[in-house]
A and B are shown apart, each in its own frame.
Chain A
Amino acid sequence: MSIPRLIALSTSLALIAGAPCIAAEGGGATLEERLAELDQEVRILKRQSEIAAEEAANKAKTASSTNVNDKGFSWASADKGFSLKIGAYVQTDGRFYLDDDNATPLLADKFLVRRARVVVSGGLGPWIDYRIMPDFAASTILQDAYANAKLAPAAQIQVGLQKAPVGLERLRSGAALTFLERGYPTSLAPNRDVGVQLHGDVGTFGRYEVGVFNGTPDGASVATDVNDDKDGAARLWFTPFAAGDIDLLRGLGFGVGGTLGFANGATPSHTSIGQAVIFTYRAGTTAEGRHTRVHPQLFWSGGPFSLLAEYALSQQEIEVVGADEEVEIDAYQVQASWVLTGEEPTWRGVKPKRPFAVGGDGWGAFELAARVTGIDFGDAHDLALAAATAVREATTYGVALNWHLTGNLKWQIDYEHTEFDGGGALGEPDRDTEQALSTRVQFSF
């Protein structure tokens, strides 16, 4: 029964209680009888309301739930053990190269759909999660397809196509990036790989990840393998101050990731931040032999600031006719951001406190960021294994302005200035400076 009716009856009861005690004319109910009747009505209404609430609560315990909100579409069983969530994110970029007289198609000014991903995830009972994520941007590519068994918070087993646990910025979601493209260390880390990893959280102190995978070339994803050799990958991440009293240190995490394996196959190529190919090995080279990587890394967020720093070293045995060489390529990135509107730039991105709405008074969140990232192919050049047009070194200075209109809509503008050492064409020693002005509109849920 409705609360207003309950209040109306209670009020009637109170009014009648205050009136003089009179019997109705013609032998009807006395005032006392009417009071008793009203009292019963109030008690009945109250108990009906309680029973309805009890039944609703019991029903909620056994009813499945359906939710449609800013986090996507989700369905869950009453105990939340079985669930299905559908999300997505789409990034539409505009890439414009300034002072670029080069007619190469890769540096053509363009609009493109950088990522168009559907994320299907959920749980199959209380201890199994799953995630399937295809990307439909350029062609249909399966990015993630794995299941995770949660034996304990500190002991989980994840099997399938997944990000190898190595590169820090690689492990960050493509939807949460501060700049449109990840820095150079990511180009030395494995991307997605098929395998199994044991991982877990050690309280709030940190987490570990250790796995066995097929093995990938630098920056690449693979869905199969061409040899019997497998790569071991591991990462330790420490957050020793997460539960501490020092606010400024709570958001600090640091660690190291790496791989150890044997590669047999084509040598990788590398691109600039503007996505032009800037390094390849010379013809006749193959990746043949030991391949190790190490990635020390750090992320911190405190207040409206964040800092990301990563170094990567990739050592690969390269075979060429008449020689076997171990080539080292290393890269680094230091990236900082400041959310001007005061929100915290967390690992998962920025959620505006006052989202933008047409006709509303919120403007979302504005984030300024700057970075420097570089990659050094000098060793390959010194060993005469680099292609003639390959650069020796690339250093990119970038600034970004990100407008987080809502938790689901973001507009990013980057300017990235890349200087090269070597790789020049037409008699020039150095490749032309790349000036990329890029913009992205991303919606996600």
Chain B
Amino acid sequence: MHRILTLLAVVALSATAADTTLLNVSYDPTRELYADFNAAFAKHWQEKTGKSVQIDQSHGGSGKQARSVIDGLAADVVTLALGYDIDVIAEKAKLLPADWQQRLPHNSSPYTSTIVFVVRAGNPKGIKDWDDLVRSGIKVVAPNPKTSGGARWNYLAAWAYALKRNGGDEAKAEDFVRRLYANVPVRDGGARGSTITFSERGIGDVLLGWENEAYFLTAGDGAKKYEIVTPSISILAEPPVAVVDKVAKKRGTTEVAQAYLEYLYTPEGQEIAARHHYRPRDAEVAAKHASSFATLELVTIDAVFGGWKKAQETHFNDGGVYDRIAAE
């Protein structure tokens, strides 16, 4: 009898085990997005192919996640905060081709986001724009640009503001960003860590970070505790996605991994992104959710910084401008 029950349990477990599993290595704040998206894709895949798929998630600072993949974390897909982090995976680990970004629409970026501020309810410190973040006594919470992709977007957004304000003067922009980071006493490894530091640990006057994180924080009861402050200018953040070719080929998941990322571009995928406060690429879905997103001047990394490679080398590589600022 015991053996029969054991056999039945094995059969039952086999029936519920997914036909395929994917590992999506993502950046820090996308937990809720992919929880919903993965459920939707799994349902779609089952209906389309009759096969089940289970998607496992890994979240962390974008740079740190990229290093994990380079060091051997077997990601079928990566959905990171910035293109440079996937470029590094292609260059150092040769896990996908150098032209990966041309394989999906919009430079493989199914949604965009930007950088905004979150303050305590009532905005007691009167934060209105970037200049307020460098005032004496203001404590800003932001993650560490050495590990977090969102933190690099933060830094570049601040730099872009300072450039515009000072007629393109790089030295003054550096001074501005230096004063900003002098007001950042805690630098978590990733964007979600900063959100928790600001909200649950009650540290800081203003959280500098992803727009979607700001909406996440101010949803529900959060609206009584926090407010979003939209700066006058910010940066257009384009988090990209990619199949990790060598891993997917080895695991036999290329087809489903490709379908998974393509599903982000479908109306349902775009709706899910919009619901989680990521700016959709699809014009119809974007129009439908236009009122959910603040209107502000957005600059691109290509226009202001000459692209990610140049920005990374100048500001974030070892010995770059950020290291100089952080050492003071």
Residues on A close to B: CB < 8 A? 40, 43-44, 46-48, 51, 54-55, 62
Q: Whose C-beta in chain A lies nearest to the C-beta of B64?
A: A58
Report the separation of the CA atoms of residues A48 and B188 in the bound assembly, to the nearest whole angstrom: 9
Is A54 a contact of B189 with CB atoms below 8 Å? yes
Is A48 a contact of B189 with CB atoms below 8 Å? no
Is A44 a contact of B185 with CB atoms below 8 Å? yes
Is A43 a contact of B189 with CB atoms below 8 Å? no
A417 → chain B, closest Cβ, in Å? 63
Is A51 a contact of B186 with CB atoms below 8 Å? yes
Is A47 a contact of B189 with CB atoms below 8 Å? no
Report the separation of the CA atoms of residues A48 and B204 in the bound assembly, to the nearest whole angstrom: 13
Assuming the A-B contacts A40-B139, A44-B139, are A51 and B187 also in contact, with contact meaning beta carbons closer than 8 angstroms in the complex? Answer: yes
Residues on B close to A: CB < 8 A? 71, 139, 185-189, 197, 201-204
Is B187 a contact of A43 with CB atoms below 8 Å? no
4 A-B pairs closest in CB distance: A44-B185, A47-B186, A43-B203, A44-B203
Report the separation of the CA atoms of residues A47 and B201 in the bound assembly, to the nearest whole angstrom: 8
A-B contact pairs, 7 of them (CB 8 A): A40-B204, A44-B139, A44-B185, A46-B201, A48-B186, A51-B187, A51-B189
Q: Whose C-beta in chain A lies nearest to the C-beta of B187?
A: A51
Report the separation of the CA atoms of residues A44 and B187 in the bound assembly, to the nearest whole angstrom: 10
Among B71, B186, B188, contact of A44 (Cβ-Cβ < 8 Å): B186
Report the separation of the CA atoms of residues A40 and B203 in the bound assembly, to the nearest whole angstrom: 6
Q: Whose C-beta in chain A lies nearest to the C-beta of B202?
A: A43
Report the separation of the CA atoms of residues A54 and B189 in the bound assembly, to the nearest whole angstrom: 9
Report the separation of the CA atoms of residues A47 and B311 in the bound assembly, to the nearest whole angstrom: 29
Report the separation of the CA atoms of residues A44 and B204 in the bound assembly, to the nearest whole angstrom: 8
Is B139 a contact of A51 with CB atoms below 8 Å? no
Interface of A is mostly: helix
Is A47 a contact of B139 with CB atoms below 8 Å? no
Interface of B is mostly: loop
Report the separation of the CA atoms of residues A46 and B197 in the bound assembly, to the nearest whole angstrom: 11
Q: Which residues of A contact B187 (CB under 8 A)?
A: 51
Name 9 extra pairs, CB < 8 A, besides A47-B186, A54-B189, A55-B189.
A40-B139, A40-B204, A43-B202, A44-B186, A46-B201, A47-B197, A47-B203, A48-B185, A62-B71
Is B188 a contact of A51 with CB atoms below 8 Å? yes
How many A-B pairs fall under 8 Å by CB? 24
Is A43 a contact of B201 with CB atoms below 8 Å? yes
Report the separation of the CA atoms of residues A62 and B201 in the bound assembly, to the nearest whole angstrom: 29
Most chain A C-beta atoms within 10 Å of own C-beta, residue among B187, B189, B203: B203
Q: Which residues of B contact A62 (CB under 8 A)?
A: 71
Report the separation of the CA atoms of residues A40 and B48 in the bound assembly, to the nearest whole angstrom: 54
Q: Which residues of B contact A47 (CB under 8 A)?
A: 186, 197, 201, 203
Q: Which residues of A contact B202 (CB under 8 A)?
A: 43
B204 → chain A, closest Cβ, in Å? 8
Report the separation of the CA atoms of residues A46 and B204 in the bound assembly, to the nearest whole angstrom: 13
Q: Which residues of B contact A55 (CB under 8 A)?
A: 189
Q: Which residues of A contact B189 (CB under 8 A)?
A: 51, 54-55
Q: Which residues of A contact B139 (CB under 8 A)?
A: 40, 44
Q: Which residues of B contact A43 (CB under 8 A)?
A: 201-203
Q: Which residues of A contact B185 (CB under 8 A)?
A: 44, 48
B66 → chain A, closest Cβ, in Å? 14
Q: Which residues of B contact A48 (CB under 8 A)?
A: 185-186
Most chain B C-beta atoms within 10 Å of own C-beta, residue among A44, A46, A55: A44
Report the separation of the CA atoms of residues A211 and B204 in the bound assembly, to the nearest whole angstrom: 68
Report the separation of the CA atoms of residues A47 and B186 in the bound assembly, to the nearest whole angstrom: 7
Report the separation of the CA atoms of residues A47 and B187 in the bound assembly, to the nearest whole angstrom: 9
A234 → chain B, closest Cβ, in Å? 38
Report the separation of the CA atoms of residues A51 and B141 in the bound assembly, to the nearest whole angstrom: 13
Report the separation of the CA atoms of residues A47 and B144 in the bound assembly, to the nearest whole angstrom: 14
Report the separation of the CA atoms of residues A347 and B71 in the bound assembly, to the nearest whole angstrom: 41
Q: Whose C-beta in chain B lies nearest to the C-beta of A62?
A: B71
Q: Which residues of B contact A54 (CB under 8 A)?
A: 189
Q: Which residues of A contact B71 (CB under 8 A)?
A: 62
Report the separation of the CA atoms of residues A55 and B202 in the bound assembly, to the nearest whole angstrom: 22
Report the separation of the CA atoms of residues A165 and B185 in the bound assembly, to the nearest whole angstrom: 63
Report the separation of the CA atoms of residues A54 and B197 in the bound assembly, to the nearest whole angstrom: 14
A42 → chain B, closest Cβ, in Å? 10
Q: Which residues of A contact B188 (CB under 8 A)?
A: 51
Q: Whose C-beta in chain B lies nearest to the C-beta of A42?
A: B203
Most chain B C-beta atoms within 10 Å of own C-beta, residue among A46, A51, A55: A51
Q: Whose C-beta in chain A lies nearest to the C-beta of B203?
A: A43
B249 → chain A, closest Cβ, in Å? 24
Report the separation of the CA atoms of residues A47 and B143 in the bound assembly, to the nearest whole angstrom: 13
Q: Whose C-beta in chain A lies nearest to the C-beta of B71?
A: A62
Report the separation of the CA atoms of residues A255 and B261 in the bound assembly, to the nearest whole angstrom: 62
Report the separation of the CA atoms of residues A125 and B202 in the bound assembly, to the nearest whole angstrom: 45
Report the separation of the CA atoms of residues A58 and B186 in the bound assembly, to the nearest whole angstrom: 18
Q: Which residues of B contact A44 (CB under 8 A)?
A: 139, 185-186, 203
Report the separation of the CA atoms of residues A43 and B202 in the bound assembly, to the nearest whole angstrom: 8
Report the separation of the CA atoms of residues A274 and B204 in the bound assembly, to the nearest whole angstrom: 80
Report the separation of the CA atoms of residues A44 and B197 in the bound assembly, to the nearest whole angstrom: 9
A40 → chain B, closest Cβ, in Å? 7
Report the separation of the CA atoms of residues A67 and B197 in the bound assembly, to the nearest whole angstrom: 37
B170 → chain A, closest Cβ, in Å? 30
Q: Whose C-beta in chain A lies nearest to the C-beta of B139?
A: A40
Q: Which residues of B contact A51 (CB under 8 A)?
A: 186-189
Report the separation of the CA atoms of residues A104 and B285 in the bound assembly, to the nearest whole angstrom: 104
Q: Whose C-beta in chain B lies nearest to the C-beta of A39?
A: B202
Q: Whose C-beta in chain A lies nearest to the C-beta of B185?
A: A44
Report the separation of the CA atoms of residues A427 and B277 in the bound assembly, to the nearest whole angstrom: 109
B168 → chain A, closest Cβ, in Å? 35
B201 → chain A, closest Cβ, in Å? 6
Q: Whose C-beta in chain B lies nearest to the C-beta of A41?
A: B185
Report the separation of the CA atoms of residues A54 and B64 in the bound assembly, to the nearest whole angstrom: 13
Q: Whose C-beta in chain B lies nearest to the C-beta of A55?
A: B189
Q: Whose C-beta in chain B lies nearest to the C-beta of A46?
A: B201
A406 → chain B, closest Cβ, in Å? 41
Report the separation of the CA atoms of residues A48 and B139 in the bound assembly, to the nearest whole angstrom: 14
B323 → chain A, closest Cβ, in Å? 15
Report the separation of the CA atoms of residues A40 and B202 in the bound assembly, to the nearest whole angstrom: 8
Report the separation of the CA atoms of residues A48 and B141 in the bound assembly, to the nearest whole angstrom: 12
Report the separation of the CA atoms of residues A38 and B32 in the bound assembly, to the nearest whole angstrom: 35
Report the separation of the CA atoms of residues A51 and B201 in the bound assembly, to the nearest whole angstrom: 13
Report the separation of the CA atoms of residues A265 and B84 in the bound assembly, to the nearest whole angstrom: 70
Report the separation of the CA atoms of residues A46 and B185 in the bound assembly, to the nearest whole angstrom: 11
Report the separation of the CA atoms of residues A43 and B185 in the bound assembly, to the nearest whole angstrom: 10
Report the separation of the CA atoms of residues A48 and B187 in the bound assembly, to the nearest whole angstrom: 8
Report the separation of the CA atoms of residues A55 and B64 in the bound assembly, to the nearest whole angstrom: 12
Q: Which residues of A contact B197 (CB under 8 A)?
A: 47
A33 → chain B, closest Cβ, in Å? 11
Q: Whose C-beta in chain B lies nearest to the C-beta of A44?
A: B185
Report the separation of the CA atoms of residues A55 and B197 in the bound assembly, to the nearest whole angstrom: 16
Report the separation of the CA atoms of residues A135 and B262 in the bound assembly, to the nearest whole angstrom: 65
Report the separation of the CA atoms of residues A62 and B68 in the bound assembly, to the nearest whole angstrom: 11
Report the separation of the CA atoms of residues A40 and B189 in the bound assembly, to the nearest whole angstrom: 20
Report the separation of the CA atoms of residues A55 and B71 in the bound assembly, to the nearest whole angstrom: 17
Report the separation of the CA atoms of residues A46 and B200 in the bound assembly, to the nearest whole angstrom: 13
Q: Which residues of A contact B201 (CB under 8 A)?
A: 43, 46-47
